[in-house]
Structure formats: structure tokens, C-alpha cells
Chain A
């Protein structure tokens, strides 16, 4: 049973990062069941980049707006994508009675799958029902969060975003008989919530860059929201951290995105949930081979160029028609250089890029 609650978990006085996360990153919950507007969507997303492994874990809950279902119902889900020898993963949807999601904190229990933020660390345990994949992760935030509010949407109220771009992993992943220790692997986390329908007039391009070496203090994330035709940007930004602190925030006209006209051409695309491949079987995908983001404001500037490598797709039925919203999750290598606050820098890192196509 999902729970609504307003209380924010007690902030941790001694740890400013944990305190900031507790105060910004808590689950908002849907107001639909108690008379509020429908179409709430909210997800807590994690990406872990270990040697030879890309791992995405996403806990979400969306209002169930399908006709014929009880008003106020939700669709709690865990999305799991793993790339090691090949892609594997699944999208698992849970019944309301199998789900407990506490508002005002980060505390999901979807059957035996759990996500909590406790003692300044994200704790995740997942065991897929239909795939031989299990994991236990403890993710320690290494940067302050950024809280980006009121991202304009064309068809409804604004979207909100909290991002913690750098965490340090402890834990393990098991795929079939192969078990991997992930200790020390860099990780990324963000959290989105808002009211909208899949199929609305929106697309986005988003990504992050994490250096593989812990000694490099820089990391960044960028995003561009557009209309479906990608002729008008609704929001764009690049956010740069040095150590714990966000040291560069570039928004709107300070940022320019450009994408390669040439597209990735995989022979076959891994898709979840698998049954959705019946309605979106195409291997052709609208993912550029490279993406460049340039940001400049005053004397500060950042440039990054991501070279896409492999793609997997998360497919969601449109809620406005007989279409499919496609989340292209793309591994990439990215070169970054820039100058901020009089300090120049250049590094290479790994990225996950996400291209939403509706």
C-alpha cells in the first residue's frame, strides 16, 4: 500500500551533503488519490559505471490513468538495464498492494525490491523476477545536489529535477552465474517529478560525464527539453561540479546543443519490456552518433563531445494514442574541456545519454 506523507526525514546535522539531499530529493508522491490532479510521474534514477559494466536502476511510480482502472491507482515500477557481455534487464510493474512508497523521504519497497536513503547513503536491493539479475548497492553521494525547479512543459505544469551527479559505489551485481564487485565504481543519481502524459509534446536529450579516476574532481550533467519535433527548446542547461560544489551553472541561451546528422545503426536493439518490441520492433533508432554541448557565460566556458557507443531502449505505451514513447539509453565516451573561475581543465569520462522520442 502506498503511503502519503508530508514529513521530511530528519536532516543529518553533521553531513551537509546528506542534509541537502534529505531536504530536496525526497519523494513527493501523487496527490491523485486524495483529490489532486492526475498524471503524476516520479522516478529515482541511478547509473553505475563499473569497468566493463553499465548498470541503470530506476524506481518509479506513475498515476494509472488507463481507462477502466480505479482513480487514484498507481503503477510502481523497477526498471533494470545491465550491459556487461550484452544488454539484459527488465521492467517490472507491481500491484498497489505490493508497493510501499513513503512520501517525504526516499523509501521504496516494491515487493522485495528496496530503495532507501539512510545515514547519508542510498541503499538499493533488487532481484528481478523474470531475469537472472540481482544486485545490492550502497551509493555514497560525493557532491551536493542541484535542484532545478519549474522546467517548462508545453502540455501541463512544470517538471522538477534533483541531480546528484557523483556517488561512490559499494556492492555487487549478479547476472546469471556471474557476480561482479562494484566497489569504488562511480555512479550518478537524479530524481524527476511532475504531471504529464507519455505522448505529450515533449522530447529530451540528457546525459552526464563521470571521470573514471577519482582524482579528477570534475563532473557534469546536461539536459535539453524540446517539443517533440525538436524545433523549440523548452529548457536547456549544463551543470558543472568541482569536488562537492557546483561551480558552473549555464542555462538557456548560455548553452548550445548540436547533434551529429549521422545516426547510430545497430543491427539489433535490446528493448524492455520485451513484449513491447512487438509494437516497436525497429532497429533503426533516432540516436545521433555524437552530441556536442557548448556552454559559455562571461569568462567561464565548457565544451563536451560525447561519442555514442551502444543503445538499449525502454519502451512505454503512449498515454495519448496508439504510440510508443522510446527511452534510448546510450553508453558513450565523452571529452570535456573548459575554464571556470580562472581554472582550466580537460578530462575524458564515461557517459550515459538518454534520448526520449515520443
Chain B
């Protein structure tokens, strides 16, 4: 089974939000529902369907309203305040595709996720683990810039976040 470090991190972080700051987890889902988000981080492709009830990881993308593409090291740069979200978008370290209303909803949902992250007791450990995996990963020449935006995959059955 291939390694999916970002999917694992995201899955664990959603579980931590739901257990430790359930109100914020619900708010994140409410802001993102009823949308599917496709994330491509390094070589991983992740699809998540948001509803008011929760976030469901999909085996493959169906019809994402928002597509996000970035690198793990670019995410670390954001966490370490080496770049703002705005700067990451403008210099294409973070690529976003979607209709304006969907992108606005994504931003609102992301803000809820981040507000949950800075409050959930488990997040420092999750971030340390994520950072360890990223630091251990080989560095390519242009490692902070993402690969070309992939096309959406075919329909797959959803998997509820744990």
C-alpha cells in the first residue's frame, strides 16, 4: 500500500478537531458543505466530500468544486510564517481552482480548520510528525512549487473520516 502521509495527517487532524474542538469541526464542515475538495500535495491526490454532517474521504475525485495543488514543503513554509497564504497563491506555490463562491467558501472553511488547529491539544504532535516526514523526504530543485494541476479522477465511494 503506497504511503499517503498528507492524507494520514489530514485524516488524523479532522479526527482531532472532531474530538477536541467539535464546534469548530462542525463549523468547518458547515462552511465547506456541500462541496468536494480535491487536494494534490506532492504526489498524493486526496478527495474529500464535505457535508454538514462531516468530511468524507473519497477513494478518488468525482466532481471537485475546488482543486488545490501544493507541496508539503510549501505547507511547512506557511506554518513557519515564511510565506502568507496570499504570497503562496501569488507566486504559485499554492494553486487554487474553482468558482469564486466556492473559493470563498474554501477560504472560510480553511480558516475554521486553522482556528481549530491552533486550539486542539493534539495538533502540535500532529504537526511535529508531519514536519518530520517532510524533512526526511528528498528535496527536489523546485520542491516548493507544485506539479501541474491534475484532472479530476473517476467516481469512487466515500470513506467517512475516522
Task: Establish whether residues A67 and B79, one from each chain, have CB atoms under 8 Å apart when the complex forms.
Answer: no
State whether the Cβ of B63 lies closer than 8 Å to any Cβ in chain A.
no
Query: A273-303 vs B: 1/0 string, CB under 8 Å?
Result: 0111111010000000000000000000000
**A residues in contact with B27, CB < 8 Å:** 322
State whether the Cβ of B149 lies closer than 8 Å to any Cβ in chain A.
no
Task: Establish whether residues B79 and A274, one from each chain, have CB atoms under 8 Å apart when the complex forms.
Answer: yes
Distance between Cα atoms of A66 and B118 in the complex (Å) = 11
Task: Establish whether residues A276 and B118, one from each chain, have CB atoms under 8 Å apart when the complex forms.
Answer: yes
Query: A244-284 vs B: 1/0 string, CB under 8 Å?
Result: 00000000000000000000000000010011111101000
Task: Establish whether residues B85 and A67, one from each chain, have CB atoms under 8 Å apart when the complex forms.
Answer: no
Contact partner of A278 among B22, B79, B124, CB < 8 A?
A: B79
Q: Which of B32-40, B96-104, B108-116, B152-160 contacts A (4 or more CB under 8 A)?
A: B108-116
**B residues in contact with A64, CB < 8 Å:** 121
Task: Establish whether residues B20 and A68, one from each chain, have CB atoms under 8 Å apart when the complex forms.
Answer: yes
State which residues 28-82 of A face B: CB under 8 Å: 64, 66-69
Distance between Cα atoms of A322 and B22 in the complex (Å) = 13
Q: In which size bucket is the chain B interface?
A: 20 to 34
**B residues in contact with A317, CB < 8 Å:** 115, 118-119
> What's the minimum C-beta distance from A215 to chain B, rounded to whole angstroms?
42
State whether the Cβ of A93 lies closer than 8 Å to any Cβ in chain B.
yes
User: Across the two chains, which residue of chain B brings its CB closest to A64?
Assistant: B121
**B residues in contact with A275, CB < 8 Å:** 79-81, 117-118, 127
> What's the minimum C-beta distance from B126 to chain A, rounded to whole angstroms?
12
Task: Establish whether residues B111 and A279, one from each chain, have CB atoms under 8 Å apart when the complex forms.
Answer: yes
A64-B121, A274-B81, A278-B79 given. 11 additional CB < 8 A pairs?
A66-B120, A66-B121, A68-B21, A69-B20, A93-B124, A275-B79, A275-B118, A281-B86, A317-B115, A322-B24, A322-B112
Q: What is A's interface to B at a CB cutoff of 8 Å?
A: 64, 66-69, 93, 271, 274-279, 281, 317, 322
In order of increasing CB-CB distance, the 8 nearest A-B pairs are A274-B81, A277-B81, A68-B20, A281-B84, A322-B115, A317-B118, A275-B79, A278-B114
